[in-house]
Amino acid sequence: MSAELKRSTDQGTNTEPKRSTSRPEDAGVKGAAPGTRRLFGLAKTIGLFLIVAAVFVLVWQLLTAGYDDGGLAPTPAASWHRLIEVVSTAFVFRPPNDVGIVFHLIASLRRVLIGFGLAALIAIPFGLVLGSSRTLESALDPIVQVLRPVSPLAWLPIGLAILRDSEATAVFVIFMASLWIILINTIDGVHRIDPAYLDLARTLETTPLRRILRITLPATVPAIVTGLRTSLSTAWLVIIAAEMIVGSRGMGTFVWNEWNAMNIDSIVVAILIIGLVGFLLDRAVAQLHRLVPAA
């Protein structure tokens, strides 16, 4: 009886209304249609980006204010004018010296995609086999762990000595930069498979090849895509440095030539282009990553 009276008293005295923790603008957005919410989110993202970009340009201008008086670091205005010049001559092709930025970009992308593609063709099946066999993995893991930390650029002299061709050497360096990332992610993906599925496959007496194709590969796809995304970004980083050494046409060669001519504003433009292309490559693989769960 006393417990019921206490509950009644508590209910009677606790008459303060609950306060909403959501802000009015958030409540308005949550109550809007899905299209309106997406539009509002996009507007917020663009607005924040513009604010950050404006602050960045302002700081850049303050730090490089002496460029017009002989300083080395170009101002935003000087870099903008140089960007217009680079874009206006992007498709000029009068080798060996007068080559537009588009042809340098195509050369770098070609090397990256060839080396990256070859690495994926070898690392994915090899990773599936190693991840499925503890014996093979234990035997070869020391070799993988010794070679994996080696800088891709350390392979460049070996590639030049063996291949004796700058183009093939650049592809070889990209191959080595991409191989280990894809391989290790694939092996890790195999290890994360639910053992119950593998036990079921053994119970049904399926062949090892059939088990890999029907169970292991589909279950490992998310890890493989993650490895592809990381390795492609790494390959794009490495090719710029490799091209500075091996020469030939490419974004790295463009940067090095502009440095020798002390055209720092051209280097700033090249950095912006390299960053933008790297961002687009990452977004392209990220879209594939989002499609994997629905596949």
Mean pLDDT of the chain: 83
Q: Which two tokens stand for residue 276?
A: 């933008």
Q: Quote the CA–CA distance of 45 and 40 in Å, as a whole number.
A: 9
Residue-wise pLDDT tens digits, 73-121 = 788 888 898 999 989 988 888 877 778 899 999 999 999 999 999 999 9
Q: Is the pLDDT of residue 274 over 60?
A: yes
Mean pLDDT is highest, among 9-23, 32-46, 201-215, for 32-46
Q: Is the pLDDT of residue 293 over 60?
A: no
**Domain residue extents for the chain:** 31-63, 87-291
DSSP letters of 150-202?
S-GGGGHHHHHHHH--HHHHHHHHHHHHHHHHHHHHHHHHHHTS-HHHHHHHH
* DSSP structure class, residue 294: T
Among 114, 88, 91, 90, which Cα is nearest to 170's? Answer: 114
The 3-state DSSP class for residue 133 equals coil
Residue-wise pLDDT tens digits, 51-63 = 998 999 899 888 8
Residue-wise pLDDT tens digits, 119-155 = 999 999 999 999 888 898 889 999 999 999 999 999 9
DSSP letters of 52-99?
HHHHHHHHHHHHTTTGGGT-SSPPHHHHHHHHHHHHHTTT-EETTTEE
Mean pLDDT is highest, among 56-60, 93-97, 199-203, 291-295, for 56-60
pTM for the model stands at 0.78
Q: Is the pLDDT of residue 187 over 80?
A: yes
CATH code: domain 87-291 is: 1.10.3720.10
Scanning the structure block, which residue is given the tokens 């091209």? 243
User: How far does the chain reach from its first CA to its final CA, in angstroms?
Assistant: 61
Among 244, 234, 277, 249, which Cα is nearest to 119's? Answer: 234
